[in-house]
Amino acid sequence: MIGLSRSTWHYRRKPRPRVSNPVPQKDRAYPARICAGDRVVIQDKIITGWQAGTSVDHSFAAAWDDGVMLASRRSWWRIAAAIVDQSARPICPTRSTNKIPRPAPVLKATGPQQIWSWDITDLRTRGGAWRSRRTR
């Protein structure tokens, strides 16, 4: 009737008792937390992979192929981001290094219905953008 859920109404009327000495979330121990020993093993595998020129994903997959499943792929990336010395990390190729000029395609029609192109255009309106898809 007033736009609140039952639980919101309940906890506003009867709040939970305050904790005298709260533990921050990052310091709490829970069963799914990766232990320090497993973190060291994962970090060693990541650094070894970097020295071989492979990515974190490749190191994760190689460890999984060997039967070692210590953490999720996302956890491996978090551990990799926490590694202080990133000098062994391989450099990812970017598109900026490959700027070869290419000629624009030139199509020549000698009759009707010989050249077809697919046009996808973003049309901006007050209500947002929508795509116009049509074949010519």
Confidence at residue 94, expressed as pLDDT on a 0 to 100 scale:
66
Work out how many domains the chain is built from and give that number. 1
For residue 68, being part of any structural domain is answered with yes
Taking only the tens place, the pLDDT of each residue in 71-129 is 999 999 999 999 998 888 888 766 665 677 888 878 888 888 888 776 666 667 777 76
130 against 134, higher pLDDT: 130
For residue 66, being part of any structural domain is answered with yes
For residue 80, being part of any structural domain is answered with yes
Sequence-separated (6 or more) residues with CB below 8 Å from residue 60: 73, 76
DSSP state of 15: P
- Rounded CA-CA distance 50/47 in Å is 5
pTM of model > 0.75: no
For residue 71, being part of any structural domain is answered with yes
Taking only the tens place, the pLDDT of each residue in 19-39 is 999 999 888 888 888 999 999
For residue 108, being part of any structural domain is answered with no
User: Domain of 60?
Assistant: 52-85
Phi (first) and psi of residue 68, to 5 degrees: -105, 110
For residue 12, being part of any structural domain is answered with no
Taking only the tens place, the pLDDT of each residue in 34-56 is 999 999 999 999 999 999 999 99
